[in-house]
């Protein structure tokens, strides 16, 4: 029953539930095996359905709008993009004790991006930049304007101003809060003034698939929409560094104000993750400290 699931919805989502949902709503696929994917996300639970499909179930109400959005817009975006993106095949309804809509997609081959799986990181960075630029060129008319469905990616980072300042206060003495505040203030001043363009919203290693050492696919458009593309530059600090960062920066272009907002987005995420992990998980805390340090240094260089 739904009532037995935890608030985040992950409890109660398992292969048995997926089998029941598929059997009830898509009986033509009911004989296919259902198995968990090797690397799963937090927003959705994903299961392999046979050899050629996946079933994807949101874990909480806040992630449900992505089902309709992706079903509607991924087929529109795909022809203009240089690598594969998810192909929606069917949209499921609540049932079998599961209260959200859900989706079936075509399986995409590839491994989650990591430096050991990438042949040339600078070349990979240029490919990611090419994807971002191609996405921005897609006609944004009628696209979903940034807002709650995108967790405000594509809107002004000012939506997270209170949270960021509370986090800076909590980390006072443990990070350089004066310099971090300067980065955040600069991001808020650098208001977006261009026409809305398509953005992905979460260009990160976990959403990039690699095959034969190269970018093969981009997945999880749950935070996508039309608006300010600054959020799609955050990978410059979270995955790239040195030569690969400069390769990404050069290939993706964007005006200085957009980079200022991007530093704000990167800082916000690193800060809220660090404050959670700083006394609990030294390894994750170190990753976010590195991102913060490199964002601050980048801001200093930008002047």
Label residue 42 by pLDDT band (50, 70, 90).
confident
What does the domain layout of the chain look like in residue ranges? 2-107, 112-302
pLDDT confidence of residue 10? 56
pLDDT at 5 over 90: no
Q: Let me know the angle formed at the C-alpha of 51 by 105 and 224, rounded to the nearest 5 degrees.
A: 20
Q: Do domains 2-107 and 112-302 have the same CATH topology?
A: no
Secondary structure letter of residue 236 according to DSSP: H
Stated pTM of the model: 0.93
The predicted structure's pLDDT at residue 11? 55
pLDDT for residue 23: 98
Taken as a whole, the chain contains a residue count of 303
**Average pLDDT along the chain:** 94
Beta-carbon count within 10 A of 215 CB: 23
CA distance 149 to 162: 20
> Going by CATH, does the domain composed of 2-107 fall within 3.30.70.370?
no
State residue 1's pLDDT score.
Answer: 27
Burial class (CB in 10 A: 0-12, 13-18, 19+), 17: buried
> Computed over its alpha carbons, how large is the radius of gyration of the chain?
20
Top-tier CATH class for 112-302: alpha beta
Question: Mean pLDDT over residues 67-74, rounded?
Answer: 98
Q: What is the rounded end-to-end Cα distance, in angstroms, of the chain?
A: 56
Which tens digit of pLDDT belongs to each residue from 141-185?
999 999 999 999 999 999 999 999 999 999 999 999 999 999 999
How far is the C-alpha of 235 from the C-alpha of 82, rounded, in Å?
A: 18
């Amino acid at each position: 029953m739904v009532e037995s699931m935890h608030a985040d919805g992950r409890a109660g989502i398992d292969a048995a539930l997926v089998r029941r949902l598929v059997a009830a709503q898509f009986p033509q696929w009911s004989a296919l095996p259902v198995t968990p994917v090797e690397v799963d996300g937090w927003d959705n639970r994903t299961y392999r359905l046979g050899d050629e499909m996946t079933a994807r179930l949101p874990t909480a109400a806040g992630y449900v709008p992505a089902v309709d959005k992706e079903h509607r817009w991924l087929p529109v975006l795909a022809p203009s993009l240089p690598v594969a993106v998810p192909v929606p095949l069917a949209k499921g309804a609540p049932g079998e004790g599961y209260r959200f809509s859900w989706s079936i997609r075509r399986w995409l081959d590839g491994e989650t991006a990591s430096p050991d799986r990438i042949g040339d990181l600078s070349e990979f960075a240029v490919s990611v930049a090419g994807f971002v630029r191609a996405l921005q060129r897609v006609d944004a008319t009628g696209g979903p304007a940034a807002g709650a469905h995108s967790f405000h990616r594509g809107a002004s980072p000012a939506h997270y101003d209170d949270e960021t300042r509370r986090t800076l206060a909590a980390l006072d003495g443990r990070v350089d809060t004066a310099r971090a505040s300067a980065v955040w203030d600069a991001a808020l001043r650098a208001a977006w003034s261009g026409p809305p363009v398509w953005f992905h919203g979460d260009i990160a290693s976990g959403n990039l698939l690699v095959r034969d050492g190269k970018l093969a696919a981009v997945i999880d458009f749950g935070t996508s929409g039309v608006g300010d593309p600054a959020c799609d530059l955050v990978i410059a600090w979270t995955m790239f560094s040195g030569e690969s960062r400069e390769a990404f920066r050069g290939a993706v272009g964007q005006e200085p104000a957009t980079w200022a907002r991007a530093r704000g987005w990167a800082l916000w995420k690193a800060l809220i993750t660090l404050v959670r992990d700083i006394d609990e998980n030294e390894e994750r805390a170190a990753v976010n400290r590195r991102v913060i340090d490199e964002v601050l240094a980048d801001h200093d260089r930008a002047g």
